[in-house]
């Protein structure tokens, strides 16, 4: 058994966000805190190739505190509350709702992309643009075409 110690990982500061990244073999786990007023386009996009207008990564995790609103490229949005698990596909922008920072733990067995001072998790496929509750998340063998529509 491996107990993850986020204090021994790589700490990344991105404006009003902090990410502690731990890699164990081919798995990556992140402990992320976003504070009210965080702006992904201003703080993260400039660090990525091509400066994308929305986050190109998948996020699979558990929201420990706060309320997270996720705005998708197609104009839809979804809300995740403290105590809920989530699966967020690429093509989104996060928003901290209210005055409480949101704190998440996200663990993935995906490729890790590293450039300078930021780490992103990339899935090797595509997903629908809808937040998927953990109970409804597809298994790794589920082909993308069978995923729920947004």
User: Over the stretch 73-88, which tens digit does the pLDDT of each residue have?
Assistant: 999 999 999 999 988 8
Confidence tier at 109 by pLDDT (50, 70, 90):
low
Flag whether pLDDT at 132 surpasses 70: no
Contact 79, 127 (CB under 8 A): no
Q: Which comes out higher in pLDDT, residue 74 or 120? A: 74
Any idea what the Cα angle at residue 67 is, between residues 56 and 76, rounded to 5°? 50
For range 40-45, the mean pLDDT: 90
- What stretches of the chain show up as alpha helix (H) in DSSP? 40-43
In a domain, 74, yes or no: yes
Q: Within a domain: residue 30?
A: yes
- Indicate whether 147 belongs to any domain: no
Answer with the residue of higher pLDDT: 102 or 28: 102
Tell me, yes or no, whether 141 lies in a domain.
no
Report helix, strand or coil for 74.
coil
- How crowded is residue 142: how many other Cβ atoms within 10 Å of its Cβ? 12
What's the structural domain count of the chain?
1
CATH number for 17: 2.60.120.10
Domain range for residue 113? 6-135
User: So what's the pLDDT on residue 111?
Assistant: 43
pTM of the model: 0.67
């Amino acid at each position: 058994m491996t107990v993850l110690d986020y204090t021994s990982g790589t700490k990344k500061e991105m404006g009003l966000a902090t990410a502690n990244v731990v890699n164990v073999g081919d798995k990556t786990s992140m402990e992320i805190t976003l504070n009210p007023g965080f702006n992904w386009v201003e703080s993260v996009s400039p660090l990525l190739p091509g400066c994308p207008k929305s986050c190109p990564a998948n996020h699979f995790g558990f929201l420990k505190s706060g309320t997270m609103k996720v705005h998708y490229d197609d104009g839809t949005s979804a809300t995740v509350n403290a105590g809920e698990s989530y699966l967020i596909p690429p093509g989104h922008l996060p928003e901290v709702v209210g005055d409480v920072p949101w704190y998440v733990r996200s663990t993935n067995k995906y490729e890790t992309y590293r450039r300078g001072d930021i780490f992103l998790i990339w899935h090797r496929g595509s997903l629908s643009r809808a937040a998927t509750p953990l109970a409804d998340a597809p298994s790794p063998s589920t082909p993308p075409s069978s995923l729920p529509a947004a």
